[in-house]
Amino acid sequence: LARGPVISPPHTVEGFVKAFLHELNFGQGVPLATSSQTDQYLALARTVRSYLMARWLETARKRRASQPQKMVGYLSAEYLLGRQLDNALSATELREVATDAMKACGIDIEDLRAQEVEPGLGNGGLGRLAACFIDSLATLGAPSIAYGIRYEFGIFRQTFVDGRQVEQPDAWLSSGDPWGVPHPELEVPVNFGGHTERYVGEDGRERSRWVPGWGVIGLRYNYMVPGYHNGVVNTLRLWRARATNAFDLHIFNAGDYAEAVRAQTFAENISKVLYPEDSTPQGKELRLQQQYFFVACSIKDFLTHTMPKGFDVRELPERIIFQLNDTHPVIAIPELMRILVDEHDLEWDQAWGITKQCFAYTCHTLLPEALEVWPVSLMERLLPRHMEIIYRINEEFLDDLREAYPGDELRVRRMSIIADHPERSVRMAHLATVGSVKVNGVAALHSQLLKDKVLNDFSELWPDRFTNVTNGVTPRRFIRQSNPALTGLITETIGKGWVSDLDRLAELQAYSDDPEFREKFRAVKAANKERITDVLAKRDGIQLPQGHMLDVMVKRLHEYKRQSLKMLHIVTLYDRLISGEVDPASVTPRTVVFGAKAAPGYHMAKETIFLINSIAKTVNADPRVQGRLFVAFPPNYNVTLAEKLIPAADLSEQISLAGKEASGTGNMKFALNGALTIGTDDGANVEIRELVGDENFFLFGMDEPAVAELQARGYRPGDYYESDANLKRAIDLIASGHFTDGNRDAVSAFVGDLLSNDRFLALADYASYLEAQDRVEAAYADQEEWSRKAILNVARTGFFSSDRSMRDYIDRIWHIKTNA
Ligand code: 26M
């Protein structure tokens, strides 16, 4: 029996009740009668976890039996997971059983679901993408393991005080971590600092040795990632930092208790908090410590625990491919070199041949200021051996370059891994490109611009290294869980199976002209609007007006995403209403919902938040608007709110300056939930429009070549202000202090920047945006036509399933076999 398959608690109400009461009584240590909702939630989560655990053990057993097999190691500093309970119930088909079991205990499962604090271990798109990808990998049964950091504090909780963002710590662990499985007995040592020494080995070869200055311990926490209805449960392994005992002992023995405790705190700081900046990396030492910490733990873990004992490291490329989620884990490249050369005694050339095959790099940006660089001085102090290795990688790379491009020293300097100005530093994107088999962008346009602009020299040198994998989102969380009404309608129309085969949504096309189906489709939207109305009333005390077009812009706050352009539009709509220029009865009632967190140190972004709140307050209180316009800005937009908001949206705002948004993934979620997009020719918008058809997408603004041309000519925002009467009125109204209780100073920085700088050309695209919004309004007036368009958006966007993204990575980059 002990060697046989693991026995799961039975999939019956009775079995579930028993397991639940066991967790409640002997895990939480309370009887049902006096248990709190927190007790009940924790016991429920633990119960569900035990069902997952049985599958997890079974998945691991099968994997061991089918070795050797190439695996993917997904390395990401962020996983924006969202709530776990509903996802686990739905993946394991336990939802009904669990609901009935709770009922049998006199508990409404909905009340418990609301108890869960979502793990927000990511900033935005990049972290959420990682979460979608691991869901799809489990659903495809791909042999894979995901690695990251178990931050004690995730993305901050956003509150507004007098319209301004105030950050609160996200203490997501304070009510327990029922989904995490800690393994404190497995300690992974990680070293930092110190120096290197040259020495001559037994074989007479000269080598380098790292003599570290200090170290910490990595503690393993496993989180289970269930595949959808396939019995597979994969692993997300997150690392937590702890002080080494040796370190403590040493200081304790010296008699300094307080110093020893301080040392402990110092070590634990490494996994303390997620950095909330997601555009302009600050080059903070602690951030580099985080990156090396999780990467070193992960590689060590893979080599010593996932690979069988005594396996030959020369076989590594047949056993593993590490996917680098942006440059954050790129220190993994010199780390693997260090292990192969210093610990396994391989020759440099052989080690480099192996290392290069074990990594692939995904770039997520086009903004030059977002590319990570680390000062050489910092690297030398924190990771002296890695710096040495990077120097040697660079030397050999530059030698090759000089051979390939004789005399072209300018190009050699541009491509160098080490930059000389403004400070000697390591360009992580260059290191990643040199050390990877493949480099990919995240949407067709982005990958093209990567080749033509950001990494142009590299793509000329190695054209075959570059590829595209368009992002995707998981239909499990973002349709099936978040939109049960639409899920029901789709299943009733085309049958089951589409949730893990999203191309089948195409079968809905036939119904876009069916009046009965359209009617039902509208009923779904209406129900979702009712649901978000309840959520916002309860969550934030916001009373949404009813019967409005719901116009939604949710994403991190960034100048390039142009929340300011949306604001100008709102001010124009408002101005039309209060000036009596239009008959309020003739305009389509519209509610605009914003959701956006600003990086705490990003001044302009925080000013924009203040202005949106100011405009919302003024517009919503003005009787002249007559219920035709409403602006809502619920604080703390997160995955949980997204799941309620996106299914209710009519209009999806994707209005970044062309050539700046690498892909976007919110855009995909909206289209899949039957919202129409108003958007620029940017990121994955391009592919959305191609798929849904021009007539079902509201395109506006300059395309990327037009942007480049305007910028080359010299962009003068003032010209647009002077020559466009609508724009002038909108800006003047803001500048007059109308939205800030007459306070002009409160808006002067914002207005000043717009008129004299406007880095992302909002004014240049304003007229085109306004015109497109007027087309939206006209289209919305014809609800039959609108429904047709919305249905076609759902039917034609199955391509954006992250299952498809994962298949693309498998076919074009990883070359692994799927099957549990
Ligand atoms: C880097 C260094 C130090 C601290 C933080 C960072 C950092 C963290 C997150 C930098 C960037 C981060 O995220 C960028 C991001 O979310 N990019 C988005 O990725 C999505 C998935 O590919 C795309 O859809 C978006 O277009 C892209 O903006």
* SS3 annotation, 750-814: HHHHHHHCCCCCHHHHHHHHHHHHHHHHHHHHCHHHHHHHHHHHHHCCHHHEHHHHHHHHHHHHH
Q: Is the dihedral of CA 680, 682, 685, 687 positive or negative?
A: positive
> Does the annotation mark 669 as catalytic?
yes
User: Is residue 525 assigned to a domain?
Assistant: no
397-405 contact pairs (CB < 8 A, 24+): 397/434, 401/461, 404/461
Residue nearest to atom 2 of ligand 1 (CA): 281
Domain assignment of residue 93, given as a range: 1-65+89-115
For the CA atoms of the chain, what is the radius of gyration? Answer: 27
| DSSP letter (8 states) at residue 5 | P
Identify the active-site residue in 92, 433, 665, 740.
665
557 and 460 fall within a common domain: no
Cα 750 to Cα 645: distance, rounded to the nearest angstrom: 29
DSSP 323-392: EEESSTTTTHHHHHHHIIIIIS---HHHHHHHHHHTEEEE-----GGGS-EEEHHHHHHH-HHHHHHHHH
Name the band, by pLDDT with cuts 50, 70 and 90, for residue 756.
very high
394 and 440 fall within a common domain: yes
Cα 448 to Cα 661: distance, rounded to the nearest angstrom: 13
Tell me the CA end-to-end span of the chain in Å, nearest whole number.
Answer: 23
Distance 124 CA to ligand 1 centre (A): 7
CATH of the domain at 587: 3.40.50.2000
560 and 444 fall within a common domain: no
Look at residue 480 and tell me whether its pLDDT is greater than 70: yes
Residue nearest to atom 11 of ligand 1 (CA): 278
55 and 98 fall within a common domain: yes
245 and 176 fall within a common domain: yes
Look at residue 1 and tell me whether its pLDDT is greater than 60: no
Distance 51 CA to ligand 1 centre (A): 34
DSSP 580-605: TSS-GGGSPPEEEEEE-PPPTT-HHH
> Does the annotation mark 520 as catalytic?
no
What pLDDT sits at residue 820? Answer: 45
What pLDDT sits at residue 245? Answer: 75
Rounded mean pLDDT of 347-376?
Answer: 97
User: Is residue 210 assigned to a domain?
Assistant: yes
CA-to-CA separations, 786 to 490, 652, 678, in angstroms, rounded: 18, 14, 13
140 and 97 fall within a common domain: no
Structure token digits, residue 359:
């990594």
Structure token digits, residue 763:
């004014």
Half-sphere exposure of 752 (CA within 13 A, CB side): 8
Structure token digits, residue 434:
């040199």
- Cβ–Cβ under 8 Å, residues 373 and 427: yes
Rounded mean pLDDT of 28-40?
Answer: 98
Distance 385 CA to ligand 1 centre (A): 28
Identify the active-site residue in 364, 386, 430, 804.
364
654 lines ligand 1 (CB under 6 A): no
337 and 193 fall within a common domain: yes
**633-649 confidence digits (pLDDT tens):** 999 999 999 999 999 99
659 lines ligand 1 (CB under 6 A): no
Within 10 A of 607 (CB to CB), how many other CB atoms are there?
A: 19
Unique residue bearing structure tokens 């990003």: 602
48 and 130 fall within a common domain: no
User: Is residue 386 assigned to a domain?
Assistant: yes
Name the band, by pLDDT with cuts 50, 70 and 90, for residue 249.
low
**715-740 confidence digits (pLDDT tens):** 999 999 999 999 999 999 999 999 99
- Cβ–Cβ under 8 Å, residues 192 and 292: yes
| DSSP letter (8 states) at residue 201 | -
Cα 618 to Cα 808: distance, rounded to the nearest angstrom: 48
User: Is residue 727 assigned to a domain?
Assistant: yes
Residue among 128, 277, 278 whose CB has most ligand 1 atoms within 8 A, to mutate: 278
What pLDDT sits at residue 257? Answer: 79
Structure token digits, residue 215:
């170290």
Range name among 132-136, 307-311, 420-424, 745-749 with the lowest pLDDT average:
307-311
What pLDDT sits at residue 260? Answer: 75
Nearest-atom number in ligand 1 for the CA of 277 is 5
Cα 501 to Cα 504: distance, rounded to the nearest angstrom: 6
Nearest-atom number in ligand 1 for the CA of 556 is 16
List % helix, strand, coil for the chain (3-state, nearest 5).
Answer: 55, 15, 30
Unique residue bearing structure tokens 């570290």: 212
> Does the annotation mark 556 as catalytic?
yes
140 and 51 fall within a common domain: no
> Does the annotation mark 242 as catalytic?
no
User: Is residue 268 assigned to a domain?
Assistant: yes
Rounded mean pLDDT of 326-342?
Answer: 98
CA-to-CA separations, 735 to 81, 108, 611, in angstroms, rounded: 41, 51, 11
Distance 325 CA to ligand 1 centre (A): 9
- Cβ–Cβ under 8 Å, residues 575 and 629: no
CA-to-CA separations, 617 to 582, 731, 794, in angstroms, rounded: 22, 18, 34
80 lines ligand 1 (CB under 6 A): no
Structure token digits, residue 656:
């970044």
Cα 105 to Cα 111: distance, rounded to the nearest angstrom: 13
What pLDDT sits at residue 3? Answer: 63
User: Is residue 519 assigned to a domain?
Assistant: no
**Do you know the residue count of the chain?**
820
- Cβ–Cβ under 8 Å, residues 524 and 648: no
Distance 129 CA to ligand 1 centre (A): 10
275 lines ligand 1 (CB under 6 A): yes
Nearest-atom number in ligand 1 for the CA of 77 is 8
Q: Is the ipTM of this complex over 0.95?
A: yes
CA-to-CA separations, 244 to 260, 414, 676, in angstroms, rounded: 11, 42, 54
Alpha-helical runs (H) found in 418-514:
428-434, 444-449, 456-461, 475, 484-494
**Which amino acid does the sequence have at 259?**
E
22 and 78 fall within a common domain: no
Identify the active-site residue in 556, 566, 789, 804.
556
128 lines ligand 1 (CB under 6 A): no
Distance 125 CA to ligand 1 centre (A): 6
Q: Is the pTM of this model over 0.95?
A: yes
**144-188 confidence digits (pLDDT tens):** 999 999 999 999 999 999 999 999 999 999 999 999 999 999 999
Residue among 285, 363, 364, 668 whose CB has most ligand 1 atoms within 8 A, to mutate: 364
* Counted domains in the chain: 3
Half-sphere exposure of 456 (CA within 13 A, CB side): 7
Identify the active-site residue in 237, 385, 555, 660.
555
Distance 690 CA to ligand 1 centre (A): 25
What are phi and psi for residue 154, nearest 5 degrees? -85, -155
> Does the annotation mark 561 as catalytic?
yes
Return the axis-axis angle of helices 257-268 and 245-253, rounded to nearest 10°: 160
- Cβ–Cβ under 8 Å, residues 52 and 88: yes
User: Is residue 343 assigned to a domain?
Assistant: yes
Look at residue 495 and tell me whether its pLDDT is greater than 80: yes
Give CA angle at 54 (48, 59), nearest 5°: 125
Structure token digits, residue 131:
């979460």
> Does the annotation mark 356 as catalytic?
no
76 lines ligand 1 (CB under 6 A): no
Strand partners, 190: 216
Distance 364 CA to ligand 1 centre (A): 6
User: Is residue 642 assigned to a domain?
Assistant: yes
Rounded mean pLDDT of 690-713?
Answer: 98
682 and 717 fall within a common domain: yes
Unique residue bearing structure tokens 């002067």: 748
Nearest-atom number in ligand 1 for the CA of 275 is 4
102 and 146 fall within a common domain: no
